[in-house]
Amino acid sequence: MTAPSAPPTAPRASAEPEERQMANTDGLRIEDLARPVFSPDAQRVLDRLAEDAPAHAFEPERLMRAAVETASAAHGRRLDDFGDPRFTEPLGIVCQDLNAEPALTGYGRTQFHREFTRMLVQRLRLQDLLRRHPEIHDVRIRQPIIIVGLPRSGTTHLNNLLASDPRLRHLPLWEAIEPIPAPGDAPGAALDAMTRRGRHRDMVTPHLRKMIDVAPTDAHEDAELLCLSFASGLMEMRAPMPGYLEWYSGTDLRFAYEHLRTTLKALTWLRGGRRWLLKSPHHLDHLPELKNVFPDAVVVFTHRDPAPAAASLATMNAYMMRRRLYPVDLGAVGRHWRRRIEELLRKMQEHRALFADEQSVDVVFHRYMADNLATAHDIYRVAGQPFTPQTRAALRAYLDGHVRHRHGRIDYRLSDFSLDPTELRVGLSSYTTRFGVQEEPIR
Structural domain includes residue 311: yes
pLDDT at 55 over 80: no
From residue 30, alpha-carbon distances to 3, 13, 237, 306, 366 in Å are: 26, 16, 19, 21, 26
What pLDDT is recorded for position 9? 38
The larger pLDDT score, comparing residue 411 to residue 405, is at 411
Closest CA to 182 of 79, 64, 91, 62: 79
| pLDDT classification of 26: cutoffs 50, 70, 90 | confident
Q: How does residue 232 score in pLDDT terms, banded at 50, 70 and 90?
A: very high
CA distance 140 to 130: 15
Query: What's the pLDDT at 54?
Result: 78
| Inside any domain, residue 28 | no
In a domain, 25, yes or no: no
pLDDT at 7 over 80: no
Sign of CA dihedral 227, 224, 285, 340: negative
The residue-averaged pLDDT of 398-422 equals 95
CATH number of the domain residue 303 falls in: 3.40.50.300
Categorize the per-residue pLDDT at 25 as very low, low, confident or very high, splitting at 50, 70 and 90: low
In percent, how much of the chain has pLDDT > 90? 91
Under the banding of pLDDT at 50, 70 and 90, the label for residue 4 is very low
State yes or no: pLDDT of 310 exceeds 50: yes
Helix or strand run (H / E) with residue 243: helix 242-250
pLDDT, tens digit, for every residue of 67-104?
999 999 999 999 999 999 999 999 999 999 999 999 99
Give the per-residue pLDDT at 443: 86
| Structural domain total, the chain | 1
Instruction: Please say if the pLDDT value at position 286 is more than 60.
Output: yes
State residue 19's pLDDT score: 35
Across all residues in the chain, what is the average pLDDT? Answer: 93
Question: What is the DSSP-derived secondary structure letter of residue 149?
Answer: E
Residue 34 near residue 327, CB atoms below 8 Å: yes
pLDDT tens, 176-230? 999 999 988 998 999 999 999 999 999 999 999 999 999 999 999 999 999 999 9
Domain that holds residue 263: 143-435
**φ, ψ for residue 312, nearest 5 deg:** -65, -45
Section 265-274 average pLDDT: 97
Q: Residue 409 domain-assigned?
A: yes
Q: What is the pTM of this model?
A: 0.94
The letter for the amino acid at 270 is L
pLDDT, one tens digit per residue, over 331-385 is 999 999 999 999 999 999 999 999 999 999 999 999 999 999 999 999 999 999 9
Q: Give the integer Cα–Cα distance in Å for 225 and 141.
A: 15
- pLDDT of residue 22 exceeding 80, the answer is no
22 in any annotated domain = no
Is 26 part of a structural domain of the chain? Answer: no
- pLDDT > 90? residue 321: yes
Q: CB of 99 within 8 A of CB of 234?
A: no
Distance, in Å, from the CA atom of 69 to the CA atom of 225, rounded to the nearest integer, reads 22
Q: Is residue 23 part of a domain?
A: no
pLDDT single digits (tens) 110-161: 999 999 999 999 999 999 999 999 999 999 999 999 999 999 999 999 999 9
Whether the link from the prior residue into 327 is cis, omega within 30° of 0, is yes
Domain assignment present for 34: no
Q: Which residue from 158, 152, 192, 154 is spatially nearest to 173, judged by alpha carbons?
A: 192
Please report which residue ranges of 295-388 form alpha helices under DSSP H: 306-321, 330-351, 365-370, 372-383
Give the residues across from 362 on adjacent strands: 301
